[in-house]
Amino acid sequence: MVILNWNGLRFLQEFLPTVLAHSLGHEVIVADNASTDTSVVFLKEHFPEVRLICHAQNYGFCEGYNLALQQVEAEYYVLLNSDVAVTPGWLAPILDLMHADKSIAVCQPKIKAQQHPQFLEYAGAAGGLIDQFGYPYCRGRLFETLEADTGQYNDVLEIFWATGACMVVRSEVYHALSGLEPAFFAHMEEIDFCWRVKNAGYKVMYNGHCEVYHVGGGTLHKSNPRKTFLNFRNGLALLYKNLPANTFYSTMAVRIILDWVAALRMLVAGQQQDAKAVMSAHREVWQQRAYWKLKRKEQQYKSNFPEMPGVFRGCIVWEYFVRQKTTVQEL
């Protein structure tokens, strides 16, 4: 179990004790991304039983995990955010499921909101889905609309992507696929990884028989233009890298137009910095297109998108903003 930390002292103080209490028999590791707070000192003084991997600089979410997991030998990796509260027995149903089916490479539990525990949480909710234009959403969360947890997602289901806030990964698959995409730095890296997992013939699963609670926005708040930039840049790069040739140009054209519409909405709403972030994101993908073309060649012979479980053969933007549909059940 590996927790990637960057200046997350307050989360380690609050949540690490329960992680240790509910993870008996499993090694807990904290990989520190060159924090400038007292996280490392705190861990050494109060939790000497926790293995500490210290990076020399902040490598971001993706490379931070890649470098840390090169130093960890285990059958499964649990990637866990520092702002996640786990619950008693949460891990067993996932491991049982993955032990029983070797084709499952990734699995996530139900993710609920720490501050509003009756609701599912933004980052992962009840499993990640995606539409044919590459817009991700979750069962239990469409854009900013969160569903209350009434047991409607107490199931086990194949999904498109699992949240990086709390996901269990088969280690041999993680390394065979070269881990998380380092050029993403952070945000949407789990979607790219799960897409590659599916291209390799494995399943990504959701297990609603266990749950954890996530604060969210602990490192970068959703109102920060930097987060907007990363989401739009990585979202476009995700498609550039993974779309099959037969749908590449048409899908990319629609996605670019929809992103520009989103930027226009931001301008109208007075969110000038976010609108600029969208334009900067598109410009950077274009500037780095040679890199993404190389990455694309690695995937083309494998991809059968959108003929995959967890893909909505429509436009989630249209369904949500125009048709006013706010739950997965309405789609």
Decide if pLDDT at 221 tops 70.
Answer: no
Average pLDDT, integer, range 17-29: 96
Residue 176 has pLDDT above 90, yes or no: yes
For residue 301, pLDDT over 70 is answered with: no
Cα separation, 283 vs 229, in Å, equals 11
Q: What pLDDT score was predicted for residue 222?
A: 64
Tens-place pLDDT, residues 77-95: 999 999 999 999 999 999 9
Higher pLDDT, 224 or 138: 138
Residues of 83-102 as b/e, b for ≥16 C-beta within 10 angstroms?
bbbbeeebbebbbebbeeee
Does 279 fall in a domain?
yes
Whether 217 shows a pLDDT value over 90: the answer reads: no
Instruction: Count the domains in the chain.
Output: 1
In a domain, 327, yes or no: no
Residue 240 forms part of a structural domain: yes
Interatomic CA distance for residues 296 and 289, integer angstroms: 10
**What HEC string does the chain produce?**
CEEEECCCHHHHHHHHHHHHHCCCCCCCEEEECCCCCCHHHHHHHHCCCCEEEECCCCCHHHHHHHHHHCCCCCCEEEEEECCEECCCCCCHHHHHHHHHCCCEEEEEEEEEECCCCCEECCCCCCCEEEECCCCEEECCEECCEECECCCCCCCEEECCECCCCEEEEEHHHHHHCCCCCHHHCCCCHHHHHHHHHHHCCCEEEEEEEEEEEECCCCCCCCCCHHHHHHHHHHHHHHHHHHCCHHHHHHHHHHHHHHHHHHHHHHHHCCCHHHHHHHHHHHHHHHHCHHHHHHHHHHHCCCCCCCCCCCEECCCHHHHHHHCCCCCHHHC
Domain assignment present for 161:
no
In a domain, residue 129? The reply is no
Q: What is the mean predicted confidence (pLDDT) over 209-232?
A: 86
pLDDT at 216: 87
The confidence score (pLDDT) of residue 34 equals: 97
Asked whether residue 68 is assigned to any structural domain, the reply reads no
Q: What is the mean pLDDT of the chain?
A: 95
pLDDT in tens, 104-154: 999 999 999 999 999 999 999 999 999 999 999 999 999 999 999 999 999
Q: Report if residue 232 sits inside a domain.
A: yes
Look at residue 236 and tell me if it is in a domain: yes
Convert the pLDDT of each residue in 259-297 to its tens digit: 999 999 999 999 999 999 999 999 999 999 999 999 988
**In the predicted structure, residue 219 carries a pLDDT above the cut 60:** no
Range of the domain at 274: 225-306
pTM of the model: 0.94
Q: Residue 100: pLDDT above 60?
A: yes
> Which residues contact residue 253 at a Cβ distance below 8 angstroms, ignoring those fewer than 6 apart?
none
Strand 311-312 vs strand 128-131: parallel, antiparallel, or unpaired?
parallel
pLDDT the model gives residue 121? 97
Residue 116 · residue 122 · CB < 8 Å: no
